[in-house]
Homo-oligomer: A and B are copies of this chain.
Amino acid sequence: MKILRIDTQKRTSAFEELGAYAGLGGRALTSRMVRAEVPATCHALSGDNKVVIATGTLTGTIAANSGRVSVGAKSPLTGGIKEANAGGKFSQMMAKLGIMAIVLEGKPERDATPCVIKIDASGVGFADAADLAGKGTYEACALLNAKHGEKAGIMAIGPAGENLQMAASIQFTDPENRPARAAGRGGLGAVVGSKKVKAIVLDDSGCKAEPVADKEAFKKAAKRWAEILGSHPVTSQGLPGFGTSILVNVINEAGGLPTKNFRFGRFEHAAEISGEKMVEIINARGGKAKEGCHAGCMIQCSQKYVDEKGQYITSGFEYETVWAMGANSLIKDLDDIARLDRACDDLGLDTIDMGCAIAVAMDAGIIPWGDGKAALALLEKVRTGDPLGRIIGNGTGFTAQAFGVDRAPVVKNQSLPAYDPRAVKGIGVTYATTPMGADHTAGYAVTANILKVGGSVDPLSKAGQVELSKNLQIATAAVDALGLCLFVAFAVLDTADAVQCIADMVAAKIGQPFSVDDVVAIGVNTLKDEIAFNKDAGFTVQHDQLPGFFLKEPLAPHNTTFDLTAEEMQAAKVS
């Protein structure tokens, strides 16, 4: 495996050995490299920043759900280090091409023509992409697949990334060549945009993934791994059955579904936007209720959401999106929400930050509460670089500043996801303390708080939340490093030999001993890199807290406030 460095200014490339980065994958690799090579106080859109796109340690093997791709950089949104990961075809193709990481370096002039980078067995090519400039990811990827073949896997940015918007995502094509898989958070699409890269196209024709060192041992462990995923109710029934939107009713029932810009914990129209309702609509219209985002996925939480005529609208239609565009904005029409999701994927925008930004715009009186059509028109302003689009596209914190709204649900300027921290306090600790800015995936305490997976911790009490969040943050960082889908965690947390099984797969792959402790060490070391970067970027304990209104306003129905201090929460950070 190699590292591929690309000088985006000169349009040159060079493969190099892993060197000091050997043994690292996914988020462990992106965070180590950003920590080592990007000055912490640099401007995130300057030539000093780098985009690191890494495949996971287990990616390219037969291990189920091991096809995630990690993208890391200094975030223009948070000002700290960032890793966001996605499914799609890209990561497994990187592995087959023998590329552990693609690193985008330097920066062309602001008015330079964007380019497409093509990587295949013959090497690396650059092509002007004036024809794709400003195009949505759906159209751009369709054109690229038409040109480079249906087999190609694509990473692309939309108009939001090209316009250097701080909530810009990076989109990856799924097995059906739809750019519906997003490394959504932290504005990494803007960093790619600043480097004038519209897309990276991979073609792994003629390539074979590096063989695992111990084939038999790997096969055995991978079989047990599949059994683990196939026998847990969340990964084998809940997620495949209804997608992540199965959580709408669950979190609403728990009183933690943030509604009307985090004013209430329940949404009266929750049933209308639930996973159950989504599947009912999909089945009635002839869509597809169950899909995987990459080859080898056993969980199949994705879907094909279609309109009344059976025409495709969107895929990878997640609970957090449905919540952000739905309950939090009081939009109750699932078709409207699906079109907002599609618009975000097409424009290359983070759905969570956009949903919260829309709610803030509603708070500011820019569009009416609950108006899905107006919300869509607002998002579409991002496409043209219209000033209102420039505001919205820069995310929730920026939109709140633009309109002087002090009810800005952000930590480190990144918007809070779909779980109110007053009703699910463990996730509040994660929002506050993860180096990523408010991010549920960084330490998903909803498990023990609400789902009673991996134990049980009272969601309304302070007790046990810091430890819960810390352990999950470590576990998550390891999962993200290995290229595994985060949803494996549900099964892992409830299965005694699961982490051993993961360690066995790694050991068999690398042909060296690898223990459960080594798995934990990946997580700890990754977090250490991230925390060190953020410290050098100027983050302090004061940045590890939720906005004041969560500490002051009780949330119905439980009438609880978030009552952990920043100091109390410091113990959630590895040291």
> Within the complex, what minimum Cβ distance (angstroms) separates A438 from chain B?
16
For the complex, give the distance between the alpha carbons of A541 and B539 in Å: 10
| Whole-angstrom CA separation of A5 from B110 in the bound complex | 51
Contact of A548 among B48, B190, B405 (CB under 8 A): B48
Kindly state whether residue A205 has any CB partner on chain B within 8 Å: no
- Distance between Cα atoms of A154 and B305 in the complex (Å): 60
Residues of B within 8 A of A43 (CB): 406, 408, 547-548
Contacts of A193 in B (CB 8 A): 404
Residue A450 is within 8 A (CB to CB) of chain B in the complex: no
Closest residue of B by beta carbon distance from A542:
B538
Distance from A133 Cβ to chain B, minimum over Cβ atoms (Å): 15
Tell me which of B388, B536, B547 contacts A387 (CB under 8 A). Answer: B388
Check A536–B547 contact: CB distance below 8 A: no
Contact with B along A540-552 (1 / 0, CB 8 A): 1111010110000
* A206 CB to nearest B CB, Å: 39
Which residue from chain B places its CB closest to the CB of A388 in the assembled complex?
B387
Report the Cα distance A388→B391, complex, angstroms. 9
A430 within 8 A of B: no
A44 partner residues in chain B, CB cutoff 8 A: 406
Per-residue CB proximity of A85-98 to B under 8 Å, as 1/0? 00000000000000
Assess the A45–B391 pair: CB atoms within 8 A: no
Instruction: Say yes or no for A323: interface residue by CB 8 A criterion.
Output: no
Q: Which of these, B46, B401, B548, contacts A166 with CB under 8 Å? A: B401
Query: Complex formed: what's the CA distance from A386 to B163 in Å?
Result: 20
Residue of B nearest to A161 (CB): B404
Query: A403: CB under 8 A from chain B?
Result: yes
Judge whether A419 is part of the interface by a CB distance below 8 angstroms: no
Q: A401-B166, A404-B194 are in contact. Are A542 and B391 (CB under 8 A)?
A: no
In angstroms, how far is the closest chain B Cβ from the Cβ of A58? Answer: 36
Q: Which of A390, A394, A540 has the largest count of B CB atoms less than 10 A from its CB?
A: A390
Residues of B within 8 A of A537 (CB): 542
Interface hits, A373-420 → B, CB 8 Å: 386-388, 390-391, 394, 398, 401-406, 408
Query: Which residue on chain B has the smallest CB distance to residue A190?
Result: B404
Assess whether A473 is interfacial by the CB under 8 Å rule.
Answer: no
Q: Which residues of B contact A398 (CB under 8 A)?
A: 398, 401-402
Q: Check if A165 is an interface residue, CB within 8 A of chain B.
A: yes
**Quick one: CB contact mask for A291-316 with B, threshold 8 Å, 1 for yes?**
00000000000000000000000000
Q: How far is the CB of A413 from chain B (nearest CB, A)?
A: 10
Contact size range, A: 35 or more
* Contacting residue for A403 out of B41, B76, B164, B548, CB 8 A: B164
Chain B: CB-nearest residue to A402 = B390
**Do A41 and B542 form a contact, CB below 8 Å, given A387-B386, A390-B391, A398-B401?**
yes
Is A42 on the interface with B (CB-CB < 8 A)? yes
Q: How far is the CA of A164 from the CA of B545 in the complex (A)?
A: 24
**Chain B: CB-nearest residue to A194:** B404
Q: Give the chain B neighbours of A46 by CB distance below 8 A.
A: 406, 548
Complex interface: chain B residues within 8 A of A548 (CB): 39, 41-43, 46, 48
Cα distance, A90 to B540, chains bound together (Å) = 40
On whether A194 and B401 interact (CB within 8 A), knowing A388-B387, A390-B391, A538-B542, the answer reads no
Are A406 and B542 in contact (CB-based, < 8 A)? no
Interface centre among A190, A194, A390, A404 (most CB of B within 10 A): A404
CA distance in complex: A406, B40 (Å): 15
- B542 and A404 contacting across the interface, CB-CB below 8 Å: no
Minimal Cβ-Cβ distance residue in B for A165? B404
How many Å from the CB of A157 to the closest CB on chain B? 12
Query: 0/1 per residue, A51-89, Cβ < 8 Å to B?
Result: 000000000000000000000000010000000000000
Q: A41-B548, A401-B398 are in contact. Are A406 and B538 (CB under 8 A)?
A: no
CB of A404 within 8 A of CB of B45, answer yes
Q: Are A401 and B406 in contact (CB under 8 A)?
A: no
CA distance A540 to B537 in the complex (A): 9
23 contacts between A and B (CB under 8 A): A39-B548, A40-B542, A41-B548, A44-B406, A45-B406, A46-B406, A110-B405, A164-B403, A164-B404, A190-B404, A193-B404, A387-B387, A387-B391, A387-B402, A390-B391, A390-B402, A394-B401, A398-B398, A398-B401, A398-B402, A537-B542, A538-B540, A538-B543
Q: A387-B402, A391-B402, A539-B540 are in contact. List 6 more A-B contacts (CB 8 A).
A: A76-B401, A390-B402, A398-B401, A537-B542, A538-B542, A538-B543
**Across the A-B interface, the 7 shortest Cβ-Cβ residue pairs:** A164-B404, A538-B542, A387-B387, A387-B388, A45-B406, A43-B406, A390-B402
